[in-house]
Amino acid sequence: MSATGSGKTITAAACALECFPGGRILVTVPTLDLLAQTAQAWRLVGHRSPMVAVCSLEKDEVLERLGVRTTTNAVQLALWAGSGPVVVFATYASLAVPLRRA
């Protein structure tokens, strides 16, 4: 493990951008606060792909400014993720609970 502030998020974002430039990427984080911070760091590194957050954050100022849509609805996620490049952010907890159906 690396210490807080040592650059893990930036390193991961840069590696993903280089290794999967047109890919479909899932990023999992432990908390909602860290989800928003991570999305912001990924945009700063240069990720321009559509981004979706699977979480309960509605009307989050940071995510809205970054163009990151939020949902807990499986159908909506599928529509927004579509095909082609996308970065999906989720908290660990959102992976353990089934997504709501429309």
Q: pLDDT digits over 28-53, tens only?
A: 999 999 999 999 999 999 999 999 99
**On the CB side of 58, how many CA atoms lie within 13 Å of its CA?**
4
Residue 99 · residue 73 · CB < 8 Å? yes
Residue 42 · residue 52 · CB < 8 Å? no
The reported pTM is: 0.85
Q: Which of 3-12, 40-49, 85-94 has the lowest mean pLDDT?
A: 3-12
